[in-house]
Amino acid sequence: MQQSRVLDLSDPVVRVLEIIGVTAFAISGALLAVRKRFDLVGMAVLAMATALGGGVLRDLILGATPPAAFTNVVYLVPPLVVSLIVLWWHPVLERTTRVLMVFDAAGLGLFCVTGTVKALEFGLGPVQAVLLGVTTAVGGGVVRDLLAGEIPTVLRHGSELYVIPALLGATVVVLADLADGPATPTAVSAAVLAFVLRMLAMRYHWRAPVPRGTTSD
Amino acid sequence: MQQSRVLDLSDPVVRVLEIIGVTAFAISGALLAVRKRFDLVGMAVLAMATALGGGVLRDLILGATPPAAFTNVVYLVPPLVVSLIVLWWHPVLERTTRVLMVFDAAGLGLFCVTGTVKALEFGLGPVQAVLLGVTTAVGGGVVRDLLAGEIPTVLRHGSELYVIPALLGATVVVLADLADGPATPTAVSAAVLAFVLRMLAMRYHWRAPVPRGTTSD
Amino acid sequence: MQQSRVLDLSDPVVRVLEIIGVTAFAISGALLAVRKRFDLVGMAVLAMATALGGGVLRDLILGATPPAAFTNVVYLVPPLVVSLIVLWWHPVLERTTRVLMVFDAAGLGLFCVTGTVKALEFGLGPVQAVLLGVTTAVGGGVVRDLLAGEIPTVLRHGSELYVIPALLGATVVVLADLADGPATPTAVSAAVLAFVLRMLAMRYHWRAPVPRGTTSD
């Protein structure tokens, strides 16, 4: 592990982004549980799996065992609190799916940053760090969707650009690291960039190319 | 690793519980394979994945690699024997689903104990040990249900309390460990407690709360 | 790690087989993405997950972290190139499913060899090495099918013998290792054996026994 990283996991900004990301994904998991009519326990399990899935996958890949979620109790609080809140308040939230996708986008943006930071800290090369950042960012959503019996958002046709925003956010972190850029602005702007791109892609229905002969709708 | 644990993996009682749990989950996997009309090979794969999935997940999370299932041949015997027996005898078993859930409950009870014991042995804190115990207990069933194309039992609405029994069983192990309780009675009673609670929840249709506005049936 | 292995991962033949296997599985993933009408990004994700899933699982189980796919950029090239080619050329390929299964069989044959070789190199016993070889061989396809919302090929009734060819290929590698057989012929013939057996099983509809009372069709 190198010590001169622009960003590392002990940075307060990285820790705060990670907890916000955990919370955002927990909300997306709890909302999907509502739509699937799971009970409180199922909701807590899905919230926890969504919130912690990406980070656990990242830590297993890095060999950083036990993963942070199994050593630091703080990660367990957001999914549990979120489940209780969503259990009582969800009817207030109209159009569950739309709200779910906003929180999913927030989790995506935040985790692509923390995943990339941790990968660099563990000595992965630039391309690999981007790959692990994207894996961390999409991992929680994939776990959520598989457990709920849905095709993962990351794959679905018509799921407007999902991987590209995470890829760009992770790339910003890697480039700033190579260029010795400033830590906090880098982390925050990379997360915001990925989040905003994902939101814009959903708003304006940006699409990746589809195979020839397949209609785009 | 601490040496003064109330229970550790070298305890014969823990090893026996683990093998019974492996066998119980193998039976649940083989029975689901029957219902899904898989052939003998598919049945053996599903029995093996169910029996070993929770323990492999536990060992990957603890960094105890290669997982026990890949170092000790004894774990492979129950799934293979079970597959052959179920292949020929299953028509005797009426109401496959009901029988499947009984063996699943047994696996749940047994693995929440062995998962928690191994977590404590690897130095995880009490809350984390309970979390890993529950993860180990539900892991095999999640793998089984995902592979068979079903929503995991642990999440399904109307899947009467599944996580809570495992949570209580794991908690008993942690409390006994903190209080230096007696080893064998602790392990056995925690496993029985979780199993009996799960069976009672199925018998009397105990339910966790559901989100407001969702009917409970 | 023993030094006197018949085959190890530094053998050029093993590296070449691994890259061909990665490419074959990538093609199977990209073709399934076409059938599922995913866009280019979903296709690249599915191609990558299929191509790298088995090897990542193998490396996590062995504790060889970070997995090869996250340390060596060369593994990322085939899935990306394949996705671009399939995006434009796929209409040329008639009967996607059939072609998909041929490439899947090639990946199966190649990965049962490289998985077993790496397992032996890490000191696993013969039976465990075969188990890990099979896990590596079927892992990528399982990940592909789960992500695409299908029951894994390895389990489906009527999926003509899938595990058995991988099991025999892995066994050939283990036996050659025990007997100090010649490296290159062993690796190549084991991969070809598994591939040909799988193709013959599909061609002639060989089937494993099904549970009594279930019709075989």
Residuewise pLDDT in 10s, chain A (217 residues): 444 577 877 788 888 888 999 999 999 999 999 888 888 899 999 999 999 999 999 999 999 999 999 999 899 999 999 999 888 876 555 566 778 888 999 999 999 999 999 999 999 999 999 999 999 999 999 999 999 999 998 898 667 788 999 999 999 999 999 998 888 889 999 999 999 999 999 888 888 887 766 554 4
Q: How far is Cα C111 from Cα C163, in angstroms, rounded to an integer?
A: 12
- Contact partners, residue C53, CB within 8 Å, separation at least 6: C25, C139, C140, C142, C143, C144
Cβ atoms of B69 and B57 closer than 8 Å: no
pLDDT tens for B138-190 read: 999 999 999 999 999 889 866 778 899 999 999 999 999 999 888 888 999 99
C148/A146 touch (CB, cutoff 8 Å), yes or no: no
The mean predicted confidence, pLDDT, of chain C is 88
Query: What is the pLDDT confidence band of residue B49, given thresholds at 50, 70 and 90?
Result: very high
Closest by Cβ to B87, choosing from C152, C162, C209: C209
* pLDDT surpasses 60 at C22: yes
pLDDT number for residue A7 = 80
Q: How far is Cα C106 from Cα C24, in angstroms, rounded to an integer?
A: 6
List the single residue in A with minimal CA-CA distance to B138: A45
* pLDDT surpasses 70 at C133: yes
pLDDT number for residue B91 = 59
Phi-psi bin for B63: left (phi > 0), alpha (psi -120 to 50), beta? left
Query: What is the pLDDT confidence band of residue C88, given thresholds at 50, 70 and 90?
Result: confident
What are chain C's partners, defined as 3 or more CB pairs within 8 angstroms? Answer: A, B
The mean predicted confidence, pLDDT, of chain B is 88
Q: Which residue has the higher pLDDT, A18 or B9?
A: A18
Question: Measured between CB atoms, does C106 come within 8 Å of chain B?
Answer: no
**Does the bond joining C126 to the residue before it have cis omega, within 30 degrees of 0?**
no
Q: How far is Cα C38 from Cα A211, in angstroms, rounded to an integer?
A: 8
Within 8 A of A61 by CB-CB distance, chain B residues are none
Q: How far is Cα B24 from Cα B1, in angstroms, rounded to an integer?
A: 29
Closest of C149, C56, C156 to residue C101, by C-alpha: C156
Closest of A31, A194, A24 to residue A98, by C-alpha: A31
Q: Which residue has the higher pLDDT, A188 or C90?
A: A188
- Contact partners, residue C26, CB within 8 Å, separation at least 6: C47, C48, C50, C51, C78, C79, C82, C83
Give the mean model confidence (pLDDT) for residues C191-211.
Answer: 89
Q: Which residue has the higher pLDDT, C155 or C100?
A: C155
Min Cα distance C66 → chain A (Å) is 5
Within 8 A of A206 by CB-CB distance, chain C residues are none
Give the mean model confidence (pLDDT) for residues C129-151.
Answer: 95
pLDDT number for residue B158 = 67
C208/B46 touch (CB, cutoff 8 Å), yes or no: no
Query: What is the pLDDT confidence band of residue C216, given thresholds at 50, 70 and 90?
Result: very low
pLDDT number for residue A77 = 94
B90/C210 touch (CB, cutoff 8 Å), yes or no: no
Three-class SS state of C149: coil
Query: What is the pLDDT confidence band of residue C217, given thresholds at 50, 70 and 90?
Result: very low
Give the mean model confidence (pLDDT) for residues B64-83.
Answer: 93
ipTM of this complex > 0.95?
A: no
pLDDT tens for B81-129 read: 999 988 887 655 556 677 888 899 999 999 999 999 999 999 999 999 9
pLDDT number for residue A217 = 41
Query: What is the pLDDT confidence band of residue B37, given thresholds at 50, 70 and 90?
Result: confident
List the single residue in B with minimal CA-CA distance to A69: B128
A214/C34 touch (CB, cutoff 8 Å), yes or no: yes
Give the mean model confidence (pLDDT) for residues C181-192.
Answer: 90
pLDDT number for residue A93 = 57
B151/A146 touch (CB, cutoff 8 Å), yes or no: no
